[in-house]
Amino acid sequence: MIGFGPHLMVDGYNGNFEALASVEAVTNFLDTLPAEIGMTKIMPPYVFKYDGGDKPEDWGVSGFVIIAESHISIHTFPEKGYFSIDIFSCKDFDIPAALEIIKSFFGTEDLEVQTTSRGTEFPRDIGMAGAITASQRRRLY
């Protein structure tokens, strides 16, 4: 098999203000999501509140959790009801299930969803990588 894995990108609109504004809620989301989608959390989530800097209305909560399969990150903008979540994994996972968890947790059906495959030429198996390289060399000579 070749390819690193899926990258799910979610933009949420009209999310629940309390969930978006809470460091505790976002921490809980990042702490429980990996197991719910079959991933392996390898560190506690790191979550912090941002004051918005020059644009106070852009305050929110950001965080990430490193998983054995890669990472999950989130950024929230409670005043705007908006959040963005990335789930990047080196193994396939149930994307529809992840989306249902996100909708339920943040209280919105209003999601913009994009997926892509990362590392499409990444050789997962070193033996396969050797075979591909050998095959390419035979064609060159």
What is the residue extent of each domain of the chain?
Answer: 5-140
- Assign 53 a pLDDT band (cuts: 50, 70, 90): confident
Which of 2, 25, 15, 8 is closest to 95 using CA atoms? 8
CA 122/CA 94 separation, integer angstroms: 21
Homologous superfamily of the 5-140 domain (CATH): S-adenosylmethionine decarboxylase (3.60.90.10)
Tokens in use for 121?
A: 């030429």
What is the per-residue pLDDT across 90-125, written as a single tens digit (0 to 9) for each? 888 999 999 999 999 999 999 999 998 876 666 656
Residues annotated catalytic, as ranges: 70, 75, 90
- CA atoms within 13 Å, Cβ hemisphere of 37: 28
Per DSSP, 125 falls in state: S
Give me the residue label for tokens 């080196």.
90
Q: Quick one: tokens of 5?
A: 């894995």
